[in-house]
């Protein structure tokens, strides 16, 4: 079972490392961190990670996964990456993403006609790329599996392991990583946070959101 996680500059590391921790514990799985080169990649908060496989040498993947993060904006116009995803998608059993990684799949034309999840602040942009936005932690539509924002990557990976290897193995992995969430605050979704706090967060995010929306519109125009 070959599982490939796209590792690219300025991604949000938990989008990748959460699913990686789950997939790496699955029996018979080989997990690849895939990029154009094997040089260290710096994530959006400064953590450096090493790719293990280059595009050119990557085997056919059973699962291809695109994490999200600020670097996703540039990735939506990266022809080499988009073509890699299209090529892998033709032979993959599952085409997947976490957070705003779904916008990259959309830019590659891989979500047209599919229901999909995304980070709450960017979910509506999926519609521009021909997908149906869904406000859920994990969305499964045929061979497309998409997770919501950041921490949803763990939920997504556990669900996919259950589908691939059975619930018993997924539950064993969940216990081994002691994934038993009990957050100190009920502020993990826009519907549950104070409206004034939500507005302040939206204002801080506004410049990046405008850049992301512009990239999504350009990607939508190319798909047409």
- How far the first Cα of the chain sits from its last, in Å, is 35
Please identify which of the residues 43, 58, 65, 99 carries the catalytic annotation: 99
Q: What is the model's pLDDT at position 180?
A: 97
**Residues 35-56, mean pLDDT to the nearest whole number:** 98
Q: Assign 119 a pLDDT band (cuts: 50, 70, 90).
A: very high
pLDDT at 133: 98
Residue 54 pLDDT level (bands cut at 50, 70, 90): very high
> How far is residue 187 from each of residues 54, 86, 127, 184, 193, measured CA to CA in Å?
39, 36, 26, 9, 5
What confidence tier does 120 reach under pLDDT thresholds 50, 70, 90? very high
> Which pLDDT score is estimated for 85?
98
Q: How much is the pTM?
A: 0.96
65 is catalytic: no
């Amino acid at each position: 079972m070959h599982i490939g996680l796209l590792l690219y500059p300025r991604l949000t590391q938990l989008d990748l490392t959460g699913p990686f921790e789950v997939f790496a514990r699955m029996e018979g799985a080989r997990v690849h961190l895939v990029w154009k080169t094997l040089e260290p990649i710096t994530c959006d908060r400064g953590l450096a990670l090493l790719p293990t496989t280059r595009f050119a040498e990557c085997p056919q993947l059973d699962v291809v996964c695109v994490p999200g993060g600020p670097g996703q904006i540039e990735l939506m116009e990266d022809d080499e990456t988009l073509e890699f995803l299209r090529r892998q998608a033709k032979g993959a059993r599952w085409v997947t993403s976490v957070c705003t990684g779904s916008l990259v799949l959309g830019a590659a034309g891989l979500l047209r006609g599919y229901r999909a999840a995304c980070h709450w602040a960017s979910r509506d942009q999926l519609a521009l790329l021909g997908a149906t936005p869904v406000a859920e932690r994990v969305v499964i539509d045929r061979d497309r599996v998409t997770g919501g924002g950041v921490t949803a990557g763990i939920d997504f990976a556990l669900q996919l392991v259950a589908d691939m290897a059975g619930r018993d193995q997924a539950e064993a992995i969940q216990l081994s990583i002691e994934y038993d969430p009990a957050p100190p605050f009920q502020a993990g979704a826009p519907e549950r946070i104070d409206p004034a706090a939500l507005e302040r967060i939206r204002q801080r995010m506004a410049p990046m959101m405008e850049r992301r929306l512009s990239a999504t519109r350009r990607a939508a125009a190319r798909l047409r």
